[in-house]
Amino acid sequence: MNKVVLITGGASGIGWAAAQGFAAEGARVAIADLQVNTAQQHAMSLGAEHLGLGGDVSDEEQVAMLLERTLDRYGRIDVLINSAGIPDSFAPTVEQDVAAFRRLIDIHLTGSYMMSKGAAKTMLHQGKGAIINLSSIAGVLGLPLRNAYSAAKAGISMMTRTMGCEWAAGGVRVNAIAPGYMLTPFSRKLISEGKLDADRLRRRTPAGRLGTARHIADAMLFLASDRAEFITGVTLPVDGGYMAFGAASDAYGGPLDAIVGMTDELQ
């Protein structure tokens, strides 16, 4: 894959899995993250042809800087992956902080908008490009206590549709992935804090297990490839059947392996 891939939130979790996946396929990867030292260290670990950048996707000037530095280094951007994000509060609505709500929307939704807008200018000039956004099952299903996150992810899915339709004739495809409950560092933290019940989630998932960041990275590799050249405006669930299931019973009735000791190979 002779492509230049810019990944926001690329220093951990799904973003880092994507960086490793694309690098393994021969792409040159620019890892952008608030944690600049980690981004640079990860880029170095992938090889000298990769780039680590620090920046806040909710800041328009820093967004411009991330795009400019990637273009300065490589001369083009073929794939943009918008995976930067922060967790929500898991608090009752009447107790939620408005400033925290706005901050989450700014990073997830506005950040994806600004990064996509900036990258599309280059991609449309090139006549080709792919943008992949991170939505969520939270953007489709009603998850109490998660107003900001759910609103942001639903917005990302609809923005994916509008941009995908707007830029298709110019050769720029825009798609999104809606992960289910994945075994990432973020979800591990929520499980340890008692905010997520891992056994209940696995019972609710037809596949009977949580996914990993690699599952999302593999879907990104497909959507970024020429094999997906006629796919745009789509939000693809990668959730082990979670959103497809609708019966009034457990989706999975088999044995549950202990989650302790389970590893996400691409943390």
Contact 233, 175 (CB under 8 A): yes
Contact 79, 5 (CB under 8 A): yes
**Is 149 part of the annotated catalytic residue set?**
yes
How many Å separate Cα 263 from the centre of its chain? 20
Please tell me whether residue 29 adopts helix, strand or coil conformation: strand
Contact 7, 19 (CB under 8 A): yes
Contacts of residue 260, defined as CB under 8 A and 6 or more positions apart, other chains included, come to none
DSSP annotation of 230:
T
Candidates 84, 64, 65; CA nearest to 11 is 84
Cα 56 to Cα 10, 50, 127, 258, 264, distances in angstroms: 12, 20, 28, 37, 26
Of 149, 181, 242, 252, which one is the catalytic site residue? 149
What residues are labeled active site? 149
